[in-house]
Amino acid sequence: MIKNIKINTIKINTIKITNIKINNIRIKNHSSIKNKRKFRGGKNMLVTTKEMFEKSMKEHFAIGAFNVNNMEIIQGIVDAAAENKSPVILQASSSAIKYARINYLMKMVEAAVEEHQEVPIALHLDHGPDFETCKMCVDNGFTSVMFDGSKYDFEENIRLTKEVVDYAHAHGVVVEAELGKLAGIEDDVNVEASDAMYTDPEQAKEFVERTGCDSLAIAIGTSHGAYKFKGEAKLRFDILAKIKELIPNTPIVLHGASTVIPELVEMCNKYGADIPGAKGVPDEMLHEASKSGVSKINVDTDLRLAMTAQIRKVFAEEPSAFDPRKYLTPAREEVKNTVSHKIRDVFGSNNKI
């Protein structure tokens, strides 16, 4: 029998927490995550992926999540997003954070937000390997983190993911999780093809319900790195359709989804690289995925190729050049052109802000 009810609502950071007492038993409810998060000192605003994913699911387009390592890559990505009126996700892996150093990275992202205040920009941790890395990013102002528990068994992946979800949600940050294993090598991720596995749709539903994650990276045939397919490229759109049927309100993420643009590979090889047989996911397949329920598509390899191709070209054609601006300027422009192509021709996120 209920004798008394007490309700108290407070706000901590961007989370509204409602405490309800029924017969002296406390029930705590995180009722909402707001879309924006300020930098230290209250300057400007990054956004979470919450609103951009809601719009993408409603209007059937995907948002590019582009990996960043340095200033030129950040500038190229955000300039392209601004020019094409597209929301964008900047993401950094733990190894990229180690390379760039988190304080430098945050200041470069802050500058991008300051320069293009009209562009919704989310800052995301890509492939967070553990709770401590996710916590570090949450504490330093990231608006989204991914915990990659795909190497663990199902129950352990749920347990560890939920730990990250609980901490991140309490600080107004959204969480991406992963179920299934992608083959390939990228930064600290290394999975043999024989160990790769597709995502099970029924498990995906249970996983989302039990962890409370905000988006889910699935395995339907993509892979990390520049060598994604030995034969004909194939994605399991039937698995994607079943997952969307079971969890229609959960944004779906594709990792390992660079096209490995042939023209960029050719340019790299023309000017001294040795990248034989590199093959990615065709643009047509990624475009189909963006219309079929995928909200976030990760791109890293294509940006590496874009930057490397132009740097190699300058070194080959102007061997006397030693001013970094001489080769980093065309490299930045190639990054911008590559991102613009993805936004307009593949993901369909142009003119969405």
CB count in 10 Å sphere of residue 277: 9
Closest CA to 308 of 270, 347, 346, 256: 270
Q: How far apart are CA 289 and CA 140, in angstroms?
A: 33
3-state secondary structure of 156: helix
Q: How far apart are CA 30 and CA 34, in angstroms?
A: 11
Contact of 172 with 13, CB cutoff 8 Å? yes
Contact of 224 with 189, CB cutoff 8 Å? yes
Catalytic residue among 79, 126, 148, 187: 126
Helix axes 324-341, 71-83, angle to 10 degrees: 40
CB count in 10 Å sphere of residue 271: 17
Q: How far apart are CA 162 and CA 155, in angstroms?
A: 11
Contact of 271 with 307, CB cutoff 8 Å? no
User: In the numeric block, which tokens belong to residue 267?
Assistant: 């340019």
Alpha-carbon dihedral sign for residues 198, 202, 208, 211: negative
Contact of 102 with 140, CB cutoff 8 Å? yes
In order, the DSSP letters of 46-80 are EE-SHHHHHHHHHHT--EEEEE--SHHHHHHHHHH
Q: How far apart are CA 146 and CA 103, in angstroms?
A: 19
User: In the numeric block, which tokens belong to residue 46?
Assistant: 């990054």
Closest CA to 123 of 148, 143, 107, 106: 143
Residue 139 is among the residues annotated as catalytic for this protein? no
Closest CA to 127 of 167, 67, 173, 69: 67
Q: Which residues are catalytic?
A: 126
